[in-house]
Amino acid sequence: MNIYEIEEPERGKETFLLLHQTPTLKIEAIRSRLSVAGVIYDQNEDEWVVLVRGSATMEIQGVKHALKEGDSVFLARHTRHQVLSTSDDAVWIGVFSF
């Protein structure tokens, strides 16, 4: 499985590829093409996400963060966050713990 071969989403959307899952852990690749703000998340699980390709702007608890390749963010459960925009080639790895 190659994370860079994840299906390209339509502009303004994201696609998700499940890489591994257990009862307490989920790892997925995420491909983003967002030019306008995406979904506001308030998740029941912890999430660590790393941007492995491209660039992105996120808002976390009302604070904007510019991310570049290699940047990672830990989002504790119920931390409100939103991806505001990404480059067309943005690829993330998300690790979720339940």
Q: Give the domain extent around 56.
A: 3-97
Q: What is the pTM of this model?
A: 0.93
CA-CA distance, 36 to 47, in Å (whole number)?
22
Convert the pLDDT of each residue in 3-43 to its tens digit: 999 999 999 999 999 999 999 999 999 999 999 888 999 99
d(CA 5, CA 96): 21
pLDDT of residue 38: 86
Which one-letter DSSP state was computed for residue 36?
A: S
What domain count does the chain have? 1
| CATH code of 48's domain | 2.60.120.10
- The residues, ordered by sequence, that sit 6+ positions from 40 with a Cβ below 8 Å of its Cβ are 80, 81, 82
pLDDT tens digits along 44-98: 999 999 999 999 999 999 999 999 999 999 999 999 999 999 999 999 999 999 9
Round the CA-based radius of gyration of the chain to a whole number and report it: 13
Task: Determine the Cα–Cα distance for residues 88 and 76; give it in Å rounded to an integer.
Answer: 27
Token pair of 34 as six digits = 């967002």
Distance between CA 58 and CA 66 in Å, rounded? Answer: 7
What SS3 class is residue 71?
A: coil
